[in-house]
């Protein structure tokens, strides 16, 4: 049943997308790969429990060293931000790739909603992709610490 839901979302996405897409299909591995004009791609698949849609893209290869340590520190800051946050950064030890992914519960997503959420996802991916490509580290604004939260509500 959930695989059929994925196929339906992909069909709806093809009709609702604001950027040109050829007819998208779910392959034999129950994955839909959306090729992007810049040569990158987005992958859509179901989580192992088939309850959520996973949207993912590769940001680049990050080899071991000081740069990776600094990049991971900022990635952890990004992942620690309070919602709403676009995606989660993850690292694949098999490929040394930094990834951006997001999960949407199948009950809360359809092709039209996904078409609206993909552009900000791609913008966030582009920031991290460019940073990796140039060897820089994106700066992530930190969430307020516990000491400043009381001051936000007028408490001391």
pLDDT in tens, 77-115: 999 998 888 999 999 999 999 999 999 999 999 999 999
Per-residue pLDDT at 152 exceeds 70: no
Q: What is the pLDDT of residue 134?
A: 95
Count: domains in the chain: 1
- Tell me which residue range forms the domain holding 103: 2-152
Assign 3 to helix, strand or coil.
helix
| Statement: residue 1 has pLDDT above 80 | no
pLDDT at position 146 over 60: no
CATH number of the domain residue 104 falls in? 3.30.1460.10
How large is the angle between the packed helices 111-134 and 2-16, nearest 10 degrees?
80
Whether 85 contacts 147, CB under 8 Å: no
Question: 3-state SS of the chain: helix, strand, coil percent to 5?
Answer: 40, 20, 35
Read off φ and ψ for residue 44, nearest 5 degrees: -115, 130
Q: Which residues of 95-113 are buried (b: 16+ CB within 10 A; e: fewer)?
A: eebbbbebebebeebbbee
Alpha-carbon Rg for the chain in angstroms: 18
**Cα first-last separation, the chain:** 54
For residue 20, name the pLDDT band (cuts at 50, 70, 90): low
Reported pTM: 0.84
Lowest-pLDDT choice from 40-44, 50-54, 58-62, 140-144:
140-144
Q: Between vectors from CA 56 to CA 54 and to CA 61, what angle results, nearest 5°? A: 150
Q: How many CB atoms lie within 10 A of CB 33?
A: 14
- Cis? peptide before 125, omega within 30° of 0: no
pLDDT above 90: residue 148: no
* Of the ranges 5-14, 23-32, 33-42, 49-58, the best mean pLDDT one: 49-58
**128, 100 contact by CB (below 8 A):** yes
Please give the order of strands across the beta sheet that includes 31-35.
31-35, 41-46, 52-61, 97-105, 88-92
Q: Taking residues 53-61, what's their average pLDDT?
A: 96
Instruction: Give the pLDDT score at 37.
Output: 82
């Amino acid at each position: 049943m959930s695989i059929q839901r994925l196929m339906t979302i992909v069909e709806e996405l093809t009709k609702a997308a604001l950027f040109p897409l050829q007819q998208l299909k779910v392959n034999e591995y129950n994955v839909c790969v959306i090729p992007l004009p810049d040569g990158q791609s987005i992958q859509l698949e179901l989580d192992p429990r088939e309850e959520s849609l996973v949207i993912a893209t590769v940001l680049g290869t990050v080899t071991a060293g000081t740069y990776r340590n600094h990049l991971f520190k900022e990635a952890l800051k990004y992942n620690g931000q309070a919602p709403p946050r676009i995606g989660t950064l993850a690292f694949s030890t098999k490929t040394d790739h930094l990834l951006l992914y997001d999960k949407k519960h199948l009950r809360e997503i359809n092709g039209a909603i996904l078409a609206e959420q993909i552009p900000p996802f791609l913008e966030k991916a582009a920031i991290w992709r460019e940073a990796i490509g140039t060897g820089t580290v994106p700066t992530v604004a930190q969430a307020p610490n516990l000491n400043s939260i009381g001051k936000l509500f007028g408490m001391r």
